[in-house]
Every structure is written in C-alpha cells, then in structure tokens.
C-alpha cells in the first residue's frame, strides 16, 4: 500500500494542503446544502480533475454532506491530448467503482472541431477575429446537457467548476474568466461565466488552491486508497511529468491554432513512451495552411450585402477539404502504426462516423450560411470594392 512520506518539509506541505482542503470543505458546506443536486463540469485537465476526485473523496470520507445526487459531466472535445484522454477514461472507471457514473458531453456530429471545418468548410478559428471553437465544442454542449438535466429535475443545480486563482482568489476575490495563457485549461472559467443562472448557480470550491497543491493532490494524495485510489498521477505526463509545476503548461485541443507553440505536446514528446505521437506536430501547420487564400473562397464584393468587408475570405473549397481530410487521416494512420508497434493507446482524430458525415457534407455540397460555392477562390485577382460600394479596378499591366 502506498503511504505519504513525512519529513519536516513534507509536514509543512501537508499542513498547507489540509488548509486548502479545509477551505474547500467550508465553501461546500456553506453553499452545498442549499441545492438538492450538484453537477461537476469536468474537462479532464488538472484543475477539474482535482475538483472531481476531491469532491468524491470528501463525500465518501463523510467530510461533507452529499446532495441528493451529484452529476459528473465530462466534456470531451474529441481533441484531448492522448494522456489526458486516457487518464480520464481510467478515472471514469474508478468513479464508477465509487458509485458515480460520468456523463460524456460532446458536441453534435456537425459541430465538432474537425467535422465543422472539413464537412461544412468553415476555416479554423484564429485569435484575432474568428474564435468559434470554445463555445461550439465546449460551452454549448455543456449548456445543452445542463438544460436537459435541469428540465428533468425541475430545479436549479449547483454547478461546481475547477476554476482556480490561487492566492489572488483570497486577496481580491476577483475571478478572471477568460482563457488564461499559462497553466490554464482552454475555456477555464467559461462555464462559470456563461452557463445561465436560470439553470445553475456556480461555485468554484478550489478557487484558492495553489498550483503546487493541485499537483500534490494529483500525484501523491488522490492515488492513495484512503483518498479515493484514483489514477490521477497519469495526468502529470500531459503537463510535463515531474517538471509539470515549473513548466505550468496550458492544455487544450491537440493542434490548437490559437497558440504559438504546442508546449504540452512538446513536453510529452520528450518521454520515449509518448514519442509515437510525433505526427500530431503536423496538425497545427495544417490548420495554419487552411487559412491561406488558395484554399478558400472570397466574395467579389459585387453581391448584395450589408457587410463592411465586402470581399471577405470565406470557406474552404471542396478540393481543400478533401486534401486536408486526407492529410489528417494520414496523421492518424502514422500515429496508430506507432501505437501498434509500441502497445500504446490509439488516437482517433476522425472516427468512422465522423468520416462518413464529412463525406455526406461534400456529397450534399454543403457551404456555410451566405456562401454558395460559386464564389471565386480567394487568390483570384479582382477589382477592389470598398465598404461604400465604390470600386477600384484591378491594375492591368500592358502586353
Ligand atoms: S484549445 Fe484551442 S482549439 Fe480548442 S477550444 Fe480552446 S482555443 Fe479552441
């Protein structure tokens, strides 16, 4: 049986841990009893995994009064980094052993990251103007699952989130609700900000936890039988293993086009057992490539519209969708050849159902709203049309 080692420094850490846990207990005791039902939004990242395992431990050890029922909703974006995905599956089984069934919440087939791009032709999100992903693949599915749940229960639930602000939470009690750059999970805080008050009130019981306590919990406490016997140490690999705390990597979708570096993936690839995931490094460049004019359509500016940007670039051409579909499948094949060789988990970027759906979109000539597919490709030279409708002809060079 595993035990917690004790020495002077460990003793101090233990005291601090106990303080953090005590504050969590107090917050759950203060707000929890006002609700018959609790719900946990679990992304599989370090903070929400800490929350979910901690809450279950506090209930089974009778340190808090449980609600009538607790619903755990795992948000699966279909692009979770492999060790996080594998860890989540294992922890789900362990939660089931404790009597807690997890509901997997996923966007509908047409709204998933890759099907939306490759099926409908919508370009990948970018930082500046077009960030459709977080709401479409994370927030809306959770909101819709919550609507169903609250509809069935007939009353509001208390939504527990893994939002964490460390010591600043105690200092000024402000919660920053955006996607933080470092050390955060993409979308962290968004549940807190966006889930409607009519469905739930939100509580962040680990708001005050420091990152070192999160790692202490995941690596050393939660895996012990007396704290729930959870395989939470598996999560550390996705954040840099033993150096996870120093690296403080942000996790999100594999190949996230909104970041400059694949920090989490790069750290993972330093470990021999995960090196078969190397082909994933090709994902982000593909998303970048997709945004280039030669793969997309453009409005001529002569159409009837109130748009300011009359000649805006739009969806991916059918040829581009087919090309990138093949490239993404080849990444999947290359990874899984390695997985087979090394006996590691397979990665399914596009499952059979998603592939079929994408091909149906092509067969149905599906385009985003306000696009027909008849528009020219965006690299076609054309007259410039200004927002007021005036036109500057294309400069023609003589023969
Ligand atoms: S990780 Fe990146 S791609 Fe995924 S939802 Fe967040 S911003 Fe979008």
pLDDT digits (tens, 9 = 90+) for 340-387: 999 999 999 999 999 999 999 999 999 999 999 999 999 988 888 888
Least confident segment among 4-18, 47-61, 66-80, 191-205: 4-18
CATH 3.30.530.20 for domain 8-247, yes or no, is: no
Measured torsion, CA atoms of residues 67, 71, 72, 73, in degrees rounded to the nearest 10: -150
137 lines ligand 1 (CB under 6 A): yes
184 lines ligand 1 (CB under 6 A): no
Report d(CA 54, CA 205) in Å as an integer. 10
Report d(CA 93, CA 86) in Å as an integer. 11
CB 377 within 8 A of CB 294: yes
Identify the residue whose C-alpha is closest to ligand 1 atom 6.
Answer: 186
Check residue 179 and give its pLDDT: 41
**Could you tell me how far CA 75 lies from the centroid of its own chain?**
7
Mutate to test the pocket of ligand 1, among 78, 140, 256, 288 (most ligand atoms within 8 A of CB): 256
Structure tokens at 127: 């930082």
256 lines ligand 1 (CB under 6 A): yes
CA of 287 to the centre of ligand 1 (A): 12
Mutate to test the pocket of ligand 1, among 75, 123, 253, 263 (most ligand atoms within 8 A of CB): 253
pTM of the predicted structure, to 2 decimals: 0.88
Higher-pLDDT residue of 270, 344: 344
Question: Given the structure tokens 């453009």, which residue do they identify?
Answer: 298
Classify burial at 160, counting beta carbons within 10 Å of its beta carbon; exposed 0-12, middle 13-18, buried 19 or more. buried
Between strands 384-385 and 69-75, the pairing is: unpaired
Check residue 6 and give its pLDDT: 52
Helix or strand holding residue 306 (H, E): none
124 lines ligand 1 (CB under 6 A): no
CB 378 within 8 A of CB 297: yes
- Delimit the domains of the chain by residue range: 8-247, 263-298+312-371
Average pLDDT over all residues of the chain: 87
pLDDT band at 197 (very low <50, low <70, confident <90, very high): confident
pLDDT tens, residue by residue, 27-51: 999 999 999 999 998 999 999 999 9
Identify the residue whose C-alpha is closest to ligand 1 atom 1.
Answer: 252
Give the mean model confidence (pLDDT) for residues 206-218: 91
Alpha helices in the chain (DSSP H): 8-31, 46-60, 82-97, 113-115, 133, 140-153, 167-172, 190-194, 211-216, 244-247, 263-269, 283-290, 318-342, 352-363
pLDDT tens, residue by residue, 147-190: 999 999 999 999 999 988 765 544 444 444 334 444 556 666 66
Higher-pLDDT residue of 314, 194: 314
- Classified as helix, coil or strand, 251 is strand
CA of 255 to the centre of ligand 1 (A): 9
């Amino acid at each position: 049986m595993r035990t917690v080692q004790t020495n002077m420094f460990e003793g101090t850490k233990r005291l601090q841990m106990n303080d953090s846990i005590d504050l969590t207990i107090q917050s759950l005791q203060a707000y929890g009893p006002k609700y018959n039902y609790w719900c946990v939004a679990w992304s599989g990242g370090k903070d929400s995994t800490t929350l979910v395992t901690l809450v279950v431990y506090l209930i089974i050890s009778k340190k808090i009064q449980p609600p009538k029922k607790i619903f755990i909703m795992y948000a699966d974006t279909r692009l979770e980094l492999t060790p996080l995905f594998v860890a989540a599956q294992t922890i789900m089984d362990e939660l089931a052993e404790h009597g807690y069934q997890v509901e997997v919440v996923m966007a509908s087939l047409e709204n998933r990251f890759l099907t939306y791009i490759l099926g409908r032709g919508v370009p990948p999100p970018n930082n500046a103007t077009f960030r459709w992903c977080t709401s479409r693949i994370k927030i809306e599915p959770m909101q819709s699952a919550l609507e169903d749940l609250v509809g069935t229960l007939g009353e509001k639930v208390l939504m527990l989130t893994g939002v964490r602000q460390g010591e600043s939470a105690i200092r000024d009690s402000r919660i920053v609700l955006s996607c933080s750059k470092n050390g955060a999970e993409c979308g962290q805080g968004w549940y807190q900000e966006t889930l409607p008050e009519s469905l739930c009130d939100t509580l962040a019981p680990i708001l005050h936890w420091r990152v070192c306590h999160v790692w202490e919990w995941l690596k050393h406490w939660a895996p012990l039988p007396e704290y729930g016997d959870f395989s939470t140490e598996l999560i550390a690999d996705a954040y840099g293993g033993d150096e996870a705390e120093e690296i403080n990597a942000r996790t999100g979708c594999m190949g996230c086009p909104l970041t400059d570096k694949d920090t989490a993936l790069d750290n993972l690839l330093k470990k021999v057992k995960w090196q078969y995931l190397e082909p994933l490094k090709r994902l982000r460049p593909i998303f970048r490539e997709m945004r280039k004019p030669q793969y997309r359509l453009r409005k001529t500016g002569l159409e009837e519209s109130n748009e300011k940007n009359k000649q805006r670039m739009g969806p991916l051409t059918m040829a581009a969708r087919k090309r990138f579909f093949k490239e993404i499948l080849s990444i999947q094949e290359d990874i899984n050849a390695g997985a087979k060789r090394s006996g590691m988990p397979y990665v399914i970027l596009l499952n059979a159902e998603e592939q079929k759906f994408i091909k149906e979109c092509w067969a149905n000539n599906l385009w985003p709203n306000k696009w027909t597919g008849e528009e020219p490709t965006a690299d076609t030279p054309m007259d410039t049309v200004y927002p007021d409708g005036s036109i500057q002809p294309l400069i023609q060079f003589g023969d």
